[in-house]
Amino acid sequence: MQLSQKEKMLLEDLKSHEQMVIQKCNDYANQAQDPQLKQLFQSMVQQEQQHIQKISQKLNQTPAQEQAGQVNQKDAMMCHDMLSSKKYLSSVYNTAIFEIQDKATRQELNAIQSEKQKLGEEIFNYMQNKGMYQVH
């Protein structure tokens, strides 16, 4: 079955998140003092790599394929992490806005959510301009 552009974008986004988690797990494994925790993070890397492979197969790519360009991988990881955090936090605000009775509180939360979205947009635009986030 052929994927739509939206489906491809969603899978690319998931793949990017998986790559970010792998980087974090590698970093944390190197920092962990407890050998059991170090092993846990290392095993997570293997699982996440399998996830990337499955997603890549759906996208008809090889797992090792990377985007061309001079992107600092640590900067890219931080940007992806922050964008994910903004997306998540915006969704949490959205739920609260719908479930709080006081209109003034809802309006204040709505204003905060709008600010979160603007900050997320700034990160997204930076990433696009630097080749860290491709929208096809």
Q: Given 14, 39, 66, which residue is the final one in a domain? A: 66
For 14, 41, 43, 45, 81, the CA distances from 38, given in Å and listed in that order, are 25, 5, 9, 11, 21
Tell me, yes or no, whether 48 and 99 share the same domain: no
pLDDT at 134: 73
Question: d(Cα 75, Cα 96) in Å, to the nearest integer?
Answer: 31
Q: Residues 59, 73: one domain?
A: no
Q: Which of 66, 89, 106 is the last residue of a domain?
A: 66
- Is the whole model's pTM more than 0.75, yes or no? no
- On whether residue 136 sits in a domain, the answer given is no
Tell me if 24 sits within 8 A of 84, measured CB to CB: no
Q: In which domain, by residue range, is 111 found?
A: 67-131
In a domain, 55, yes or no: yes
Per-residue confidence of the chain (136 residues) as pLDDT tens digits?
687 887 888 888 888 888 888 998 899 999 999 999 999 989 989 988 998 998 988 887 443 434 445 778 888 888 888 888 888 888 989 999 999 998 999 999 999 999 889 988 998 999 888 888 876 5
Which helix (H) or strand (E) element contains residue 109? helix 103-129
- For residues 80 and 39, membership in a common domain is answered with no
Query: Are residue 72 and residue 117 in the same domain, yes or no?
Result: yes
Length of the chain: 136
Domains held by the chain: number: 2
Of the residues 13, 38, 66, the one at which a domain ends: 66
pLDDT in tens, 82-102: 888 888 888 989 999 999 998
pLDDT of res. 94 = 92
CA distance linking residue 109 with residue 98, whole number of Å? 10
Residues 59 and 71 in one domain: no
Write down the pLDDT at residue 35.
92
Write out pLDDT tens, residues 106-124: 999 999 999 889 988 998 9
Q: Which residue has the tokens 């690319």?
A: 12
Residues 53 and 73 in one domain: no
